[in-house]
């Protein structure tokens, strides 16, 4: 049996079609002629917020190490075997899980400011001048 389409009250005012919200009865204007039912912005917000629960903690999927798709072979904890990033179903559960090594990240050098670079260049220039004076004094 086909579902019976429910009719919601609508009317045209100044060339704009208005239709009744299907949950609260508030009138929504600017609706297309072919529209069957409408939800007002308030009801839509309530529905969206009811789906979102901040207290619910989602569990993360089995974590794979960084660059897992570049590894020749990875044996996941759940038993999947990945060879060059593609799952091999024949080997599922036959190999022990791969031990994952933590990567140590190198610390980045702090960028020198423009003023610091100028100071360094000025010191080098002064040293070169001093060496030139000493060199010319020895030759005389």
Q: Which residue ranges make up each domain of the chain?
A: 10-51, 66-100
pTM of the model as a whole? 0.36
Q: What average pLDDT does the structure give for the chain?
A: 83
Q: Is the pLDDT of residue 53 over 80?
A: no
Q: What is the pLDDT of residues 9-30, one digit of tens each?
A: 888 888 899 999 998 889 999 9
Give the pLDDT score at 9: 80
Question: Kind of pairing, strands 27-29 and 73-75?
Answer: unpaired
Average of pLDDT values for 114-119? Answer: 90
- Residue 19, exposed/middle/buried by CB under 10 A (0-12, 13-18, 19+)? buried
3-class secondary structure, 58: coil
DSSP 62: P
pLDDT for position 118:
93
pLDDT of residue 3: 62
* Extended beta strands in the chain, E state: 10-13, 16-20, 27-29, 73-75, 81-83, 86-87
Is the pLDDT at 140 greater than 60? The verdict is no
The model's pLDDT over 68-100, given as tens digits with 9 standing for 90+, comes to 778 888 888 778 888 888 888 888 888 888 887
Cβ(64)–Cβ(97) below 8 Å: no
Higher pLDDT, 94 or 119: 119
pLDDT of res. 58: 67
């Amino acid at each position: 049996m086909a579902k019976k389409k429910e009719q919601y009250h609508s009317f045209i005012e100044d060339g704009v079609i208005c239709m009744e919200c299907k949950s609260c009865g508030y009138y929504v204007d600017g609706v297309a002629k072919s529209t069957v039912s409408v939800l007002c912005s308030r009801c839509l917000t309530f529905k969206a917020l009811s789906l979102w629960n901040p207290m619910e903690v989602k569990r993360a999927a089995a974590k794979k190490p960084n660059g897992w798709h570049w590894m020749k072979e990875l044996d996941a904890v759940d038993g999947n075997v990945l060879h060059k990033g593609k799952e091999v179903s024949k080997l599922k559960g036959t190999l022990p899980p791969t031990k994952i090594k933590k990567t140590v990240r190198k610390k980045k050098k702090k960028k020198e400011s423009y003023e610091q670079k100028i100071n360094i260049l000025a010191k080098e220039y002064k040293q070169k001048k001093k060496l030139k004076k000493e060199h010319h004094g020895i030759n005389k």
